Amino acid sequence: MSQAALGRPEKLNWVTVPLIVLMVFQVLAVILVPLVWPLITAILSGDTTLASQDVQLARTVTGSAIAVAEVVQLIILVFTFLTYRAVVQGRSWGRIAAVVLFVLNILNFPFGTLLAVFGLIGAFDPDVQRYCSR
């Protein structure tokens, strides 16, 4: 069944596909961020100029930072998923949230910028705006 038959505008894919790609990137970040910990531990263990207390403090701070980054990545992933669902359902807050995500992703050069440009073009399309006015 075509999108026109479902009442969905043609450029809705310009919003939903970048959101799906952003979700894939977030899943990869959630998986890969913890893998930094062994690398940092190995670097700190090999540094003979640091005192053992400094190494322990660095490990604690780094471990905490990685844990916080993991939680933030999960929150962003859930928010992106909820935004995707809202856009597909035609909710106005979903389009607004997608615009916010795309504007923030402009800074993620080069792939985030490319996704953001396509997403913003789709989000500001008049048909998509009408579709997302519920």
Length of the chain in terms of residues written: 134
Residue 2: its pLDDT value, please?
A: 47
pTM: 0.83
Range of the domain at 100: 11-131
Judged against a pLDDT cut of 60, whether residue 130 lies above it is answered with: yes
Q: What is the pLDDT of residues 57-71, one digit of tens each?
A: 877 888 888 899 999
Q: What is the pLDDT of residues 75-124, one digit of tens each?
A: 999 999 999 999 999 999 999 999 999 999 999 889 999 999 999 999 99
Judged against a pLDDT cut of 80, whether residue 55 lies above it is answered with: no
CA-based nearest residue to 69, from 58, 61, 81, 57? 61
- Tally of domains within the chain: 1
Binned at pLDDT 50, 70 and 90, residue 53 comes out as confident
Domain contains 2: no
The rounded distance, in Å, linking the Cα atoms of 68 and 128 is: 36
Residue 48: its pLDDT value, please?
A: 67
Domain contains 3: no
Residue 59: its pLDDT value, please?
A: 79
Domain contains 4: no
The rounded distance, in Å, linking the Cα atoms of 101 and 79 is: 9
Domain contains 32: yes
